[in-house]
Amino acid sequence: MIRIEHLKKQYASVTPLNDVSVEINDGDVISVIGPSGTGKSTLLRCINLLEKPTSGKIWVDDVEVTAPDCDMNEVRKRVGMVFQNFNLFGHKTVIENITLAPMDLLGISKQEAYDEGMRLLRMVGLGEKALSYPDELSGGQKQRIAIARTLAMDPEVILLDEPTSALDPTMVGEVQAVIRELAKTGKTMMIVTHEMNLARAISNRVFYMDEGGIYEEGTPEEIFDHPKREKTRRFVHKLKVLELNIDSHDYDFLGMARLIEVWCGKNQITPKLTNRIRLVFEEATQLLIPYSRTPLVKSVCEYSEESGVAKWTFEYSGERTDLTKSDDNLSVSVLKGLAENLTYECVEDENLPNRINIEIR
C-alpha cells in the first residue's frame, strides 16, 4: 500500500530521516513513537508531500508520489492528514469545512457531499454542530470535526500527527474514542502519539523512531513489553539517562560529581538517592580505573521515576575479569553495602568486555 525506499530528509542543520525503508500494508494501524525531534512529523509530512524528500522514493499503491511529474492533488486525495492544531477554516461553518474539498477535488454534488458530511458528523458525535463555526467549538470538538473532514475525502490512508496533544486533558478522551472507532474500520492509519495506551489499544505495528530512522519496529507487545534495543527500552520505560565516559586517567573527577548532582536535581531525585548515585560512581570508578586500559570506563545511570530505582552500569576495558569478586577491596565492600543488586557480566565487545550492573534505591 505504501512503500518507502531509502527516504532521506535533510535540513540545513539536521537530518531527521537518514535512510528509511519500510512497507505499510492495507489495514495497518501504525503508531509512531519516539523522542522529540526524531523525525516523526517529518516522516508523515514526506508521505503526503507536505515536505519534499531530499532523496529516496515513496509509492502509494502503484503511484510513485516522489516522481517529478506526480500530481500532488492525486496524492492528497489518497492520503488524508489530521494535524495537532486542527487547521479548520474559521470563516466557514462546520459542514462547509467538511464538504468543500469533496466538492472541489472529487467533483461530487453538493447534496451528496452534504449527506455524507452529515453522516460523518454524526459518526464523530457532532451532528448538531453542522452550522456552528469552529470558534464556537471546544478543542476536542474541533479535532473531531477535523477527523470527519479528512474522512470526507475517503482517503486510502489517514496520517494523524499528535491529534490529541494540543487538547485540554478533559477532551483527550472524546477524540481518542473517535480514533479507536476509526481504527476498527480497517482503514490504513499512521498516528504519531505520546499516548502509549492508545497506541497499544489500536495498532498492529509500532515504529519507534530515533537515530535518523525507524530504530525498532514491532507489535505493541514487542515494543512496549519486550523492547529489544537500548533506546527503545529507555523510551518506553520513561527512563532518565545520564552517560559519563572516562577517557583518561586524569579525568575531571569533581566535574563529574557536579554533573551527577545537576542531573539528579533536574530529575527530582531525592537527596538520599542522589547521594547514593554519586557514591556508587565514586567507588566504582576508584575500583575500575586503575585496572582499565584506554578507553577506560563507560558509565550510564538510568533512573526510573515509576519504581524509584536507579541503575548504574559500568563497562570497562582490560581482560575479562569480575572485579566485584575482590572482597578485600574497600570499594567493593562499599558498593555491596549500597547496592540492592550487583551483578557482573561479560559482553561481546572487544574494547569494553566487562560490565557491572548496580541497582540502588
Ligand X SMILES: Nc1ncnc2c1ncn2[C@@H]1O[C@H](COP(=O)(O)OP(=O)(O)OP(=O)(O)O)[C@@H](O)[C@H]1O
Residues that bind ligand X (CB under 6 A): 11, 14, 16, 34, 36-42
Q: CB nearer to ligand X: give 37 or 127.
A: 37
Residue 82 beta carbon to Mg ion: minimum distance, rounded to whole angstroms: 13
- Give the span between the Cα atoms of 341 and 319, in whole angstroms: 23
The partner in contact with residue 42, picked from ligand X, Mg ion, none with C-beta cut-offs of 5 to 8 angstroms by kind, is: ligand X
Strand partners, 60: 2, 63
Backbone dihedral angles phi then psi of residue 140, each to the nearest 5 degrees: -65, -40
Strand order in the sheet with 354-360: 239-246, 297-304, 309-316, 354-360, 341-346
Residue 172 beta carbon to Mg ion: minimum distance, rounded to whole angstroms: 17
Collapsed DSSP state (helix, strand, coil) of residue 207: strand
Q: CB nearer to Mg ion: give 41 or 97.
A: 41
The partner in contact with residue 38, picked from Mg ion, ligand X, none with C-beta cut-offs of 5 to 8 angstroms by kind, is: ligand X
Residue 208 beta carbon to ligand X: minimum distance, rounded to whole angstroms: 11
The partner in contact with residue 89, picked from Mg ion, ligand X, none with C-beta cut-offs of 5 to 8 angstroms by kind, is: none
- Give the span between the Cα atoms of 157 and 169, in whole angstroms: 27
Residue 232 beta carbon to ligand X: minimum distance, rounded to whole angstroms: 15
The owner of cell 470535526 is 145
The cell for 9 is: 530528509
| Residue 42 in contact with Mg ion, rule: CB under 5 A | no
Q: CB nearer to ligand X: give 14 or 330.
A: 14
Residue 161 beta carbon to Mg ion: minimum distance, rounded to whole angstroms: 6
CA 356 to mean position of chain CA atoms: 29
CB atoms within 10 A of CB 148: 25
C-beta separation of 4 from 26 below 8 A: no
Q: CB nearer to ligand X: give 14 or 106.
A: 14
Backbone dihedral angles phi then psi of residue 346, each to the nearest 5 degrees: -90, 135
| Residue 41 in contact with Mg ion, rule: CB under 5 A | yes
Residue 359 CA: distances (Å) to CA of 50, 314, 338: 47, 12, 9
Residue 34 beta carbon to Mg ion: minimum distance, rounded to whole angstroms: 9
Residue 36 beta carbon to Mg ion: minimum distance, rounded to whole angstroms: 7
User: What is the Cα Rg of the chain in Å?
Assistant: 26
Residue 216 beta carbon to ligand X: minimum distance, rounded to whole angstroms: 15
Q: CB nearer to ligand X: give 39 or 155.
A: 39
| Residue 193 in contact with Mg ion, rule: CB under 5 A | no
The partner in contact with residue 11, picked from Mg ion, ligand X, none with C-beta cut-offs of 5 to 8 angstroms by kind, is: ligand X
Q: Is residue 262 within a helix (H) or strand (E), and if so which, with residue range?
A: helix 253-266
The partner in contact with residue 203, picked from ligand X, Mg ion, none with C-beta cut-offs of 5 to 8 angstroms by kind, is: none
Q: Which stretch binds Mg ion (CB under 5 A): 38-46, 69-77, 133-141, 208-216?
A: 38-46
Q: CB nearer to ligand X: give 42 or 317.
A: 42
CB atoms within 10 A of CB 299: 23
Q: CB nearer to ligand X: give 34 or 213.
A: 34
End-to-end CA distance of the chain: 49
Which positions touch Mg ion (CB under 5 A)?
41
